[in-house]
Structure 1
Amino acid sequence: MDRRQFLTLSPTRHKTAKAPFGRTDSGIAPFTGAFDTAQAVHLLKRALFGASPADLSWAKGLGSMDQVVDALLTPLATMPSPPVNNYGDDATGIAPGATWVNAPAYVRMEDDPLGQNRQRSYKAWWTGVMLNQTRSIHEKMVLFWHNHFVTETQTVTDLRYVYKYNTTLRQHALGNFKALTKAITKDPAMLIYLNGNLNGKTAADENYARELHELFTIGKGPDSHYTEDDVRASARVLTGYRVDENTITSHFDSTQHDFTNKQFSDFYGAKTVTGKTGPAGETELDDLLNIIFSQPECAKFIVRKLYRFFIYYKIDDAVEQNVIAPLADIFRTNNYEILPVLSALFKSEHFYDPLNMSCLIKSPIDFCIGLCREFSVVFPPASDYMNAYEAWDYIRDFAGKMLQNIGDPPLVAGWAPYYQEPMFHEMWINTDTLPKRNMLSDYLVQGQGAPHGLKIDVLAFADQLSDPGNPVTLVKDSLDLLYRVDVSDSLRSFMKNSILLSGQSPNSDYYWTDAWQAYKGNPGDAATRTVVESRLKAMYKFIMDLSEYQLS
């Protein structure tokens, strides 16, 4: 999918372009333009998974862009209820419907059926949490950090640790990045995933130390000049961390710690971590992070990742100078607090630049979860855990088949569309994944093929729009919410005349108006209901099958 093709759909888009092909010289100065439907939907779809009519009404009702951003950036105060046993037999005695996250350790068999059952339970649970997100960016940031501080359930294997890793991301998702890095460094799942629990003074394991620099803090950019000696020194700092499967926690074993001094390169100011003995050896981690976080490239690296996740994958010289550098300054000035960076980004003129308002291809999670949320697809309640988990897993499985299997990114670097040049997010769309996207939307809009009656209630969706009895307004409101690019007048006319009016004269808008009013006057009548429902299903199927629906 070529984004430039979308930019040719509407001549009005080119009038606001500051440079050809989507490049712009806008920066992080506060946005002062109108905050109308287009801007509100743009903000909602970048900060949340999808945007429903109720979300749009909420945003516009707050009155100002600043208020909406502040509300969306409010961290969640409580953790979601943990995953439960939805699989039946549990070797550790966890009853059906009870949570397994604090279950006793058990002896794993070769095929480990309990681990596989908990893996499915965990992934279904996380999908359910995303589907039931409130109006906060918190849930999307958990996914962002999962793609940044990657672990894989297939490698960790003990899902109790994996769940704790998820809670670590949640606790720090909108907090302090340095604190998150420290917490992840000692997280049991990460210690297992990158061999930190095997790192000892007689044989330092460099696996986590290398990723700490290369993927988690400094990156591999042209100004990232850490050395192999820095990796080796970091590995020695990190010796001694171990995991206890009975308490499901990590701890520091000073007898396994290398207490000699660790020298770092000129890139890190030639600083030294002074070796410490006994329990004090654990404080060397703080010394290491102080050295890493004093390097300006750390802030720039994280800001670039946020930019590619929330704005666009291409970072040219203008973006680096006008957006990345000043946001990195904000990040460092605020001691690596995440919220000030997000606030400045989402309130900036650059974020609302028309060329940044339709340039991302939805990730599979964004597509699947967003589709369900914006159409308010009804799932079984969490109390009906057997059916709820099965329904959640149905959506999770579709996203996995579209190349984004939560819990198991393919590599420690995360999902390739977030970093792989030159295609980046265009990798989400291919001849295999696009039909699967259309298949899911077709199943849901037709109410067929999905478990537990999952479907899009097209009547309820249309009824939330401003004037569903007017076919022109109905088409406009639907496209304003579901598409991020404008479409031609001929396409709008096709939707009205050929679908809603069933080929009637283009001047026969009353045909749809009468049909809608007949349905509203007697919603229990099957005949009048079928007339409008069948046409709405055809229209929304048509909308979701076009390439424009893939853009966020």
Structure 2
Amino acid sequence: MDRRAFLRKPASALTAPAAVLAAPAQQTDPPGETVSPYANKTLPVLPRTNAGLTAYTGTWGKAQAAHLLRRCLFGPTRAQITAATSSTLSQVLTSLLTAPAAPAPPVNVSATDTSVPIGQTWVSQVFDQNFEGVRRSSLRAWWLGQLLADNTLQAKMWLFWHNHFVVELADINDARYGYHYAELLRGQALGNVKQLCKDVTVAPAMLRYLNGNQSTATAPNENYGRELLELFTVGKGPLIGAGNYTNYTEADVQAAAKALTGWRDNATTIAGYYTASRHDTTVKQFSGAFQNQAIPNGGDQEYKTLVDMIFGQAETARYLVRKLYRWFVYYVIDATTEQNIIQPLATQLQQNGFNIGPVLRTLLASEHFFDAVNVGCYIKSPLDFSLGLLRQLEVAQPTSANVAQQYSVWDYFNGLTNLQQQYLGDPPNVAGWAAYWQTPQFNELWINAVTLPRRTQVSDALLTSTGVTRSGFLLIVDPVAWVQSLPAATAQDPNLLIQAFVDVLMPFALTTTQLAYLNDTLLPGLPDFEWTDEWNQYLAAPTNTAKKNAVATKLRALLKVMLSQAEYQLS
């Protein structure tokens, strides 16, 4: 498998006539995007690997630990990789699956919001449109800050559920609702998905986003009922007749909408609430896709009965497991993977009552997960790229001692990931970011003529000698400090030093030619001993600016090249 191919045009394209290269985008392109003519046109059908869910018992070393952590964290640090290497796979998974304590809520950092002092939370204040903009920015900044700081699997699953049970903060227009939603997803990120689905159904943010708060007995709104079936639980399946999508029918959407009537959102309590007079009290009849089940009037408990019925379908577990697989392993699910991975994991999910943790442990501890074809095989999302860059190169962050500065830095990175086409809190639509569902391109969509240069701009800016200043705080990569944290023998040997960077930054080993090129980048036309000599000169006089700049300049040049390589875009 050539994992670098996504940054190269195929040979056929290089010789194709101009008319072919200029062909208009297909109708399946997401709104506002044009899929590259060099992108995948079809998915492979041959088995990528026959490895199954048998517990992995192979080599456990730096490479395996780094692979696991890259998929489970937003960029593991060298120290985290080292610590994981000295533990067992089981111990590392236990740590990853142990959720941290709940963080304090977001705080006000703007003089515009006069409802609370700077540094105090606004989440229970009365809604005020004049303050909504700065509160929403505070929420986004806080959310990114938690993802950056969390060293467990919870952070990745928090984002997973945001991409799954989608709401858009700009659409709901109440940051307090947004915080309630974000906390709901965070608190249950590693918990029970059936319970989470029930809670999301009557969450004020979702009631407002998909118009459940407008649904009455006389005018049932189908928006949430449709997305509950199509996107959140059982999925469509192949169209087999007019209004029949295999896993549900249009009549099922209508019946679900009736079962969900009567719910509204309360802007004072920031909660969903039930009004009996607005609820459809008839018996809701479902199709053969649901074994012709009927749901009688259940008042304010009826939505739970509906969710229980949907989760009683075997396809719901399979649909959820496929999404988890694409999030943590790879986007191609061939027939062999469906049989060896998806089906048994779906059975496990059903048998343990839809608790996600055990399923994740089985998948992440499997031979399949550690198979070579699943290492470094998918493109990082903008959040993976940007937060990983900060974490892996250990860019210093402001502390809560200056919350305005801290939130300003987090807000800055939200802006950068937005430019890379992933804006935390606002997926493009209810289906989530297209890179997680649009076939056959999937995560290829993260890389295009706009986003790739923007990624490079982020890393290049942090690698300059002046860095980026935000609200008086300097964001800068300090490569000298990073190298000083290495063992002395590694730091003074240019080849060992380069390998130390590769171990952290790259998802798999580089070729001999690539390593030689990086050596020449560090020491253009110079023998290896020149680095050893300069490094030791710096160590002998660390306050000497000229000697420090001599090694820092070389290290920045090296890192600039490494971070622009195709391999760094992969996880």
Asked if Structure 1 and Structure 2 have the same fold, meaning a TM-score greater than 0.5 normalized by the shorter chain, the answer is yes
Change (3 A) 1:59 1:22: farther
Per the alignment, in what secondary structure is the counterpart of residue 368 of structure 2? coil
Deviation at 1:441, TM superposition (A): 0.3
Deviation at 1:332, TM superposition (A): 0.6
Say whether residues 1:85 and 2:108 are aligned partners: yes
Moved more, 67-76 or 486-495: 486-495
2:146 is aligned to 129
2:123 is aligned to 101
Contact 1:28–1:348 (CA under 8 A) maintained in structure 2: yes
1:455 is aligned to 476
Which residue among 552, 558, 561 is the counterpart of 1:539?
Answer: 558
Say whether residues 1:23 and 2:48 are aligned partners: yes
Say whether residues 1:185 and 2:201 are aligned partners: yes
Deviation at 1:386, TM superposition (A): 1.3
Q: What whole-Å deviation, never above 9, does each CA across 1:484-509 have from its counterpart, x for those lacking one? A: 1332212211222x2333321xxx32
Per the alignment, in what secondary structure is the counterpart of residue 170 of structure 1? helix
| Cα distance between partner residues in 2 of 1:21 and 1:249 | 49
2:169 is aligned to 153
Q: How many residues align structurally?
A: 525
Say whether residues 1:74 and 2:98 are aligned partners: yes
Residues 150-549 of structure 1 mapped to structure 2, 5 A cutoff = 150-222=166-238, 224-276=246-298, 281-446=299-464, 447-451=466-470, 452-466=473-487, 467-496=490-519, 498-504=520-526, 508-549=527-568
Contact 2:7–2:566 (CA under 8 A) maintained in structure 1: no
Contact 2:47–2:335 (CA under 8 A) maintained in structure 1: no
Q: What whole-Å deviation, never above 9, does each CA across 1:107-156 have from its counterpart, x for those lacking one? A: x3xxxx421111111111111111211x2100110000000000001110
Spell out structure 1 runs of 4+ moving beyond 4 A: 19-22
Contact 1:176–1:338 (CA under 8 A) maintained in structure 2: yes
| Cα distance between partner residues in 1 of 2:262 and 2:6 | 54
| Cα distance between partner residues in 2 of 1:351 and 1:263 | 42
Moved more, 180-189 or 456-465: 456-465
1:73 maps to amino acid: L
| Cα distance between partner residues in 1 of 2:220 and 2:503 | 56
Per the alignment, in what secondary structure is the counterpart of residue 369 of structure 2? coil
| Cα distance between partner residues in 1 of 2:459 and 2:274 | 50
| Cα distance between partner residues in 1 of 2:469 and 2:570 | 24
Contact 1:22–1:356 (CA under 8 A) maintained in structure 2: no
2:40 is aligned to none
1:13 is aligned to none
Q: What whole-Å deviation, never above 9, does each CA across 1:57-103 have from its counterpart, x for those lacking one? A: 121122x1111112111122x21111111111225x22222111111
Contact 1:49–1:140 (CA under 8 A) maintained in structure 2: yes
Per the alignment, in what secondary structure is the counterpart of residue 384 of structure 1? helix
Moved more, 258-267 or 418-427: 258-267
1:404 maps to amino acid: Q
Provide the alpha-carbon RMSD of the alignment: 1.9
Contact 1:40–1:59 (CA under 8 A) maintained in structure 2: yes
TM-score by length of 2: 0.89
Per the alignment, in what secondary structure is the counterpart of residue 264 of structure 2? strand
| Cα distance between partner residues in 1 of 2:220 and 2:313 | 24
TM-score by length of 1: 0.92
Change (3 A) 1:21 1:355: farther
| Cα distance between partner residues in 1 of 2:506 and 2:247 | 43
2:565 maps to amino acid: L
| Cα distance between partner residues in 2 of 1:30 and 1:325 | 17
Contact 2:99–2:154 (CA under 8 A) maintained in structure 1: yes
1:31 maps to amino acid: Y
Contact 2:45–2:335 (CA under 8 A) maintained in structure 1: no
Per the alignment, in what secondary structure is the counterpart of residue 459 of structure 1? helix
Contact 1:6–1:485 (CA under 8 A) maintained in structure 2: no
| Cα distance between partner residues in 2 of 1:99 and 1:194 | 27
Contact 1:131–1:369 (CA under 8 A) maintained in structure 2: yes
Deviation at 1:518, TM superposition (A): 2.1
Contact 1:190–1:196 (CA under 8 A) maintained in structure 2: yes
Contact 1:53–1:465 (CA under 8 A) maintained in structure 2: no
Deviation at 1:363, TM superposition (A): 0.2
| Cα distance between partner residues in 2 of 1:462 and 1:448 | 18
Deviation at 1:284, TM superposition (A): 1.2
Contact 2:76–2:504 (CA under 8 A) maintained in structure 1: yes
Deviation at 1:246, TM superposition (A): 1.1
Contact 1:22–1:355 (CA under 8 A) maintained in structure 2: no
| Cα distance between partner residues in 2 of 1:237 and 1:182 | 13
Per the alignment, in what secondary structure is the counterpart of residue 102 of structure 1? coil
Deviation at 1:344, TM superposition (A): 0.4
Say whether residues 1:138 and 2:154 are aligned partners: yes
Q: What whole-Å deviation, never above 9, does each CA across 1:166-210 have from its counterpart, x for those lacking one? A: 000011100000000001001100000000111111111111000
Unmatched 5+ residue regions in structure 1? 9-18
2:134 is aligned to 117
Change (3 A) 1:356 1:21: farther
Contact 2:62–2:82 (CA under 8 A) maintained in structure 1: no
Say whether residues 1:38 and 2:63 are aligned partners: yes
Q: What whole-Å deviation, never above 9, does each CA across 1:369-400 have from its counterpart, x for those lacking one? A: 11101111111112311111111111111100
| Cα distance between partner residues in 2 of 1:263 and 1:459 | 68
Deviation at 1:45, TM superposition (A): 0.6
Deviation at 1:450, TM superposition (A): 4.4
| Cα distance between partner residues in 2 of 1:3 and 1:546 | 12
Q: What whole-Å deviation, never above 9, does each CA across 1:265-294 have from its counterpart, x for those lacking one? A: 111111111113xxxx11112211121011
Per the alignment, in what secondary structure is the counterpart of residue 265 of structure 2? strand
Contact 1:191–1:197 (CA under 8 A) maintained in structure 2: yes
2:33 is aligned to none
| Cα distance between partner residues in 2 of 1:302 and 1:465 | 42
